[in-house]
Amino acid sequence: MKLTCSAIKLPFIVLFVITFAFQTGFVGFCYGQNFQFDYKIKRDALSFKLVKNLIIIPIYINDKGPFNFILDTGVDPLIITDSTIVDKNQLTNLRKVKINGTGEGDELTAYISNNINARVGAASMKHVPTVILKEDVFNLSIYLGLKIHGLIGYHFFNSFIVKINYTQAKVSFSLPQTRKKIKWNKLDLEFLENKPYINVPVKVPDLGEINAKLIIDCGASHALSLESYKEGVFPLPVPSFQANLGVGLGGKINGNIGRVTSIKLGEYELKNVLTSFPNYSDVAAKARQKQRTGNLGSDILKKFTVIFDYQGGAMYFKKNSSFAKPFEHDMSGVEIYVDDRQFNRVYVSRIEAASPAEKAGILADDEILSINFKKITDYSIDDVVNLLKSEHGKTILIEFSRNDKVYIKILALKRRL
């Protein structure tokens, strides 16, 4: 069965800049609790799947699973996006709340639970503060090409010293008392509403160098998002172009894509950084932390091996083999999604105006059958994304079906920035 989802933009970004504004608050949650190892061990490690820059780890919920959760420094409570994984007989004293999130939509209905137990590797936690969404507004499964059940953040990171090795696709976590001196670059973390922030210099065209307060968000697939300047609208650089930047709890996030001159993290300077500028009304106006400038995501973080020491108030990092790779955006104008019933059928959800895809005559709802004469089932989602932003001027042959007819079109990729 083909599913329609025009709000998901696969080629570039999905935003997890989630700011909760609960009408009733988190009264009754036990924030003193942490994950603990089930055995007399001090450290553990897990392999993860990295899809669209997002870290996906296996988690057991109430002794069932494993379920696919996104590891996300940008969220506070555990978020269950697929409510079917929870046995309703195990849930008591649920509180119905309204959530204001980023995006252009209205409030959402969710439920707060204190009766969720979670296990990550050899570590577990009882009564995890949890938000269960009534409706899966993210639709992450069709965006990432595999079933996604939720997001996990603060309570895991606050329990351990967490090392993320993007090159090896491995997350290691150890007890805080095992802390040793780390001779890597270091940035101090400031915590606001249980989310980590850094203050770093960013050079922006026309503005010069600014001191940016950024939330560290490994659950955001972009490189950098600049949302506000002096608590107002962030000035757009020239050139930039309008784009659908992704989806937040409140729905679609629109804005522009441009570049900043550089961002400096410790001794490392990253130049010509692809940056999203979400509409002020979609993100910054809804943020509770008005003094924040924006959000640093995984397209930057994946250039490093990163250690988060929440209890020590620090982030350590050293560059890896992908550090020198340039930041690129989609050059085709095709937005795609997968059928979440089968995960082996790929459809066009949206075509950017005046893009190579529009000029080639590709339309929304076309089913992609092959790219460069290779079956679409032989590609991963990341394979497709990387191919469509690979090289300015490169030609791509796309075979697709429409109304039971098969077509082959040639796209000439075009860099816009």
Q: What CATH code is carried by the domain that includes residue 169? A: 2.40.70.10
CA 173 to chain centre: 21
- In this structure, the answer to whether residues 113 and 50 fall within a common structural domain is yes
Range of the domain at 263: 183-300
CATH code, domain with 384? 2.30.42.10
pLDDT in tens, 247-273: 766 567 889 999 999 999 999 999 999
Arithmetic mean of pLDDT over the chain: 89
Is residue 16 included in any domain, yes or no? Answer: no
Do 190 and 291 share a domain, yes or no? yes
d(C-alpha 286, C-alpha 249), whole Å: 11
The answer to whether residues 224 and 152 belong to one domain is no
Tell whether 238 and 368 lie within a shared domain: no
One domain for residues 172 and 40: yes
**Whole-number pLDDT of residue 96:** 85
Query: Do 163 and 192 sit in the same domain of this protein?
Result: no
Of 132, 155, 176, the one marking the end of a domain is 176
Q: Is 306 inside a domain boundary? A: no
Whether residues 97 and 56 share a domain: the answer is yes
Q: In this structure, is residue 143 part of a structural domain? A: yes
Beta 118-120 vs 49-51: how paired, if at all? unpaired
Residues 195 and 277 reside in one and the same domain = yes
Both 364 and 265 in a single domain? no
Q: Is position 11 within any domain?
A: no
313 falls within a domain: no
Together in a domain, 289 and 210: yes
Task: Assess contact for 13 and 102: CB atoms under 8 A.
Answer: no
- Please count the structural domains in the chain: 3
Residue 13, domain member (yes or no): no
Domain end, chosen from 252, 277, 300, is at 300
Q: What is the pLDDT of residues 333-355, one digit of tens each?
A: 999 999 888 888 999 999 998 99
Same domain membership, residue 152 and residue 56: yes
How many helices and strands (H and E) does the chain possess? 5, 33
CA-based radius of gyration for the chain: 21
Q: Enumerate residue ranges in the chain where pLDDT < 50.
A: 1-28, 30
Q: Which residues contact 224 (CB under 8 A, 6 or more apart)?
A: 202, 214, 260, 263, 273, 274, 275, 276, 294, 295, 296, 297, 299, 300
Q: Do 113 and 189 sit in the same domain of this protein?
A: no
Q: Per the domain annotation, does 146 fall within a domain?
A: yes
Examine the fold and report which residue of 176, 194, 211 is the final residue of a domain before the chain moves on.
Answer: 176
In a domain, 353, yes or no: yes
Backbone angles phi, psi at 169, to 5 degrees: 55, 55
Angle at 13 between CA 20 and CA 235, to 5 degrees: 80
Please count the CA atoms within 13 angstroms of the CA of 225 that sit on its side-chain side: 31
